[in-house]
Each structure stands twice: as C-alpha cells, then as structure tokens.
A = this chain, B = another copy of it.
Amino acid sequence: MITPKIVVGGTVAIDNVITPIEKRENLLGGSAAYAAISASIFSKKAQLVGIIGEDFPKEYLELFESKSISVEGLEVSDQKTFTWTGKYLDNMNDRETLDVAINVLENWSVNVPEAMQESELVVLANMAPANQLQLLSQMKASKRYVIADTMDLWIDIAKEELEEVFTKIDLLVLNDSEAKQYTGAYSSVKAGELLLEKGLNAVIIKHGEFGSTLFYTQGNGSVQLFKCPAWPLSELVDPTGAGDSFLGGLAGTLAKMGKVHPTLTDLKEGMVNGTLAASFTCESFSTESLQEVSFEQIKQRREEFWALCQWNA
C-alpha cells in the first residue's frame, strides 16, 4: 500500500464573520485552509498550494506546520491576503457577502513546487477555474485522483473554464443550489444524473444540513447513489468552511486508506469522515474546532452517527 500525498490548492484567506450572535475579525479562512486542516486529521501528507500576502498572520502559518501541512507551495506576495467579510442571517443558513478584497488573487498564476508534482491525490478546492486548470497542468503522477469543488460565481462568470475542469477530474463536489444552477434541473437527483452525463465518473452534491448524495458510475456503466446524512447539529456557531472541511476530510481519508483509485465503498468512507469533520467546523468560528479534532474524536462521533443512520433491511 502506498501512502498517497495530497496537494490541496485553493484560497487561503482572512475572514471577517458576523453571525446573529457574534462578530469576529481576522480569522483564518479560505477553501484550501479548511480543506488542508481537515485532511490533516486523517493524513500527515497534506500540502497547501495557494497565495498569501505579507500581512498573513504568522500564527496561522504555525498552525499549518503544527498539523504537518507543508506550506512550501504557499506563495507569499507583497500584496495583501485575500479577505472575505460575510454575514449570516438569522436562520444561519443564508449568508450575505459584505465585502471581498481579491488582493493577491488578482493576477495569481499557480505554481506547484516540483517536489509536489508527483502527488497522487489532487484537491482543487474552490478557486477560479483558471487557477484550478493551472494547478492541474503541473501535476505529473501517472496514477492520480483529482477532486474539484466550485461555487456559484464561477458557474456565472467562468462556465467555459469550469467545463474544461470537469473534463480533467475524477470527482466533482458542489452544493445543491450550484448543481441545479449549472444543470437547470429542479431536483438534485436530476442534477446529479445530468452532471454524470457530462462525462464525470462521480459527483457529490452537498445539501448543507441535510447531508450529501454521491452519484457514482460503476464499472458496468450503471449509476449507484449513496445518501450520507449530516451530523445533527442543534446549535450552529459558524458554518463557514463546512463544505471545504468535507472535501478535505474526504481526501484525507482516501490518503489514509491508500486509495488512488477509490471504489464506491472508499468514497462512502471518505464522505462519512468528511461529514463528521465538517460538523466540528460548524461548532465554532473559523478552524477553531476543526484544528483541535483528533482522529479518535472522529471515530467516536462516527459510532453515534452510525447508530442514527441504521435500519434493518
């Protein structure tokens, strides 16, 4: 068994988050930050690829290092770090973006350090599809597995590049509303089926508090679904990064199992762990809970999760 290395490309950001209860500033954020920390619960082979500014807090770099996350591929620009300011509405599900300062991302051209180019697991966390394509073009492992996430913005303004991404990946992960927006379907089941028809082998549609659904094309061409519920959270502190944590937990689990060509069972395993990692993310601001979670805690919550999903055939 090999222990695959993971490259996690995406944004590394400073977030300012307002919830109905609290306002917090200068938080660690960004798709790749969440995904890499989540992956590190399962695998010590995660490597960040992204760009930060000189203003990026040193403590966050130390946090990555404490999690054995390589920051060699984290370029430091003389501009400011990408910053997102958002506000959650009373229902904690809808949010408004109050401000986005693109900063370092403006003219970023992704550069994957040579030592990372042979990594077998490639996570294209949410970022511009052009950046996802740049990253992917530098990856050289003959056996590799590529997972990509995206967001509504790119479906709106970069659909063509996004479609090129879709032709080069093994697994697409996206939100319910994004899947419907992209395909024009009104049901997420139809949206998943239409995405597979685009040539994707596997698609995961995330339903927020209702879990996620995998659409997986089996060897014989038939499609098998897997419905993964969400961990029931009574109180949500800050859902920012939950989807990225899901993605990272999934990839970290594949790495831990040594799976570069995951089966349906392997992907289920990854989804369950990703779901649990995401549940910790929602329990506090930023990565504050996620970064404290041990694999043992995931295993413990997993036992309870198992109990609340079971029924007799």
Question: With A and B bound together, what is the CA distance between A210 and B206 in angstroms?
Answer: 11
Count of this chain's copies in the oligomeric assembly: 2
By beta carbon, the residue of chain B nearest A214 is B308
Choose one: B265, B269, B311; the contact of A269 (CB below 8 Å).
B311
Contact with B along A282-313 (1 / 0, CB 8 A): 00000000000000000000110011111111
**Residues of chain B lying within 8 A (CB to CB) of residue A309:** 226-227, 309, 311
A109 contacts B by Cβ under 8 Å: no
Chain A binding surface, main DSSP class = mixed
**Which of A143-151, A163-171, A182-190 is the interface stretch?**
A182-190
* Contact, CB under 8 Å: B229 / A268: no
A280 to chain B, nearest CB (A): 15
A209 contacts B by Cβ under 8 Å: yes
* Contact, CB under 8 Å: A233 / B187: yes
Question: With A and B bound together, what is the CA distance between A167 and B84 in angstroms?
Answer: 48
A63 contacts B by Cβ under 8 Å: no
By beta carbon, the residue of chain B nearest A92 is B186
* Contact, CB under 8 Å: B303 / A313: yes
A213 contacts B by Cβ under 8 Å: yes
Contact with B along A258-287 (1 / 0, CB 8 A): 000000010011011000000000000000
Contact residues on A (Cβ < 8 Å of other chain), bracket: 35 or more
**Residues of chain B lying within 8 A (CB to CB) of residue A235:** 187, 190
A21 to chain B, nearest CB (A): 11
Question: With A and B bound together, what is the CA distance between A211 and B190 in angstroms?
Answer: 17
Those of A184-242 within 8 Å (CB) of chain B: 186-190, 193, 207, 209-211, 213, 224-229, 232-236
**Residues of chain B lying within 8 A (CB to CB) of residue A224:** 307-308
**If the complex has contacts A268-B311, A311-B272, are A232 and B210 also in contact, measured as CB distance less than 8 A?**
no
A66 contacts B by Cβ under 8 Å: no
By beta carbon, the residue of chain B nearest A230 is B227
**Residues of chain B lying within 8 A (CB to CB) of residue A272:** 311
**Residues of chain B lying within 8 A (CB to CB) of residue A186:** 90-93, 236
A232 to chain B, nearest CB (A): 4
* Contact, CB under 8 Å: A312 / B91: no
* Contact, CB under 8 Å: B226 / A209: no
Choose one: B189, B193, B207, B311; the contact of A228 (CB below 8 Å).
B311
* Contact, CB under 8 Å: B234 / A189: yes
Chosen A-B contacts, 18 in total, with CB atoms closer than 8 Å, are A93-B186, A186-B236, A187-B233, A189-B233, A190-B234, A210-B210, A211-B227, A225-B308, A226-B309, A227-B232, A227-B308, A265-B312, A269-B311, A269-B312, A271-B311, A272-B311, A302-B313, A303-B313
The 10 closest A-B pairs by CB, nearest first: A210-B210, A227-B229, A189-B232, A268-B311, A225-B308, A91-B186, A189-B234, A306-B313, A190-B234, A92-B186
